[in-house]
Amino acid sequence: MNNLRIKDITQIAIIAALYVAVTIAPGLSAFAYGPVQFRVSEILMLLPFLNHKYSWSLIIGCFIANIFSASLGAYDLLFGTLATAVACLLITRVPSKMSMIWSVPIICAVVNGIIVGAELHLVLKIPFWINAGSVAIGELVVVAVGAAIFYFLMKNRNFSKLID
Dist. CA 110–CA 101, nearest whole Å: 15
pLDDT of the residue at 35: 78
Residue 81 lies in a domain: yes
Residue 79 lies in a domain: yes
The model's pTM: 0.91
What percent of the chain is modeled with pLDDT above 90? 69
Dist. CA 138–CA 153, nearest whole Å: 23
CA distances from 74 to 13, 39, 101, 142 (A): 23, 18, 32, 25
Number of domains forming the structure of the chain: 1
Residue 1 lies in a domain: no
The CATH number linked to 63 is 1.10.1760.20
Q: Average pLDDT of 87-100?
A: 93
Is residue 119 scored above 90 in pLDDT? yes
Q: What are 11-69's pLDDT values in tens digits?
A: 999 999 999 999 999 888 878 877 778 899 999 999 999 999 999 999 999 999 999 98
- Output phi, psi for 61, to 5 deg: -60, -40
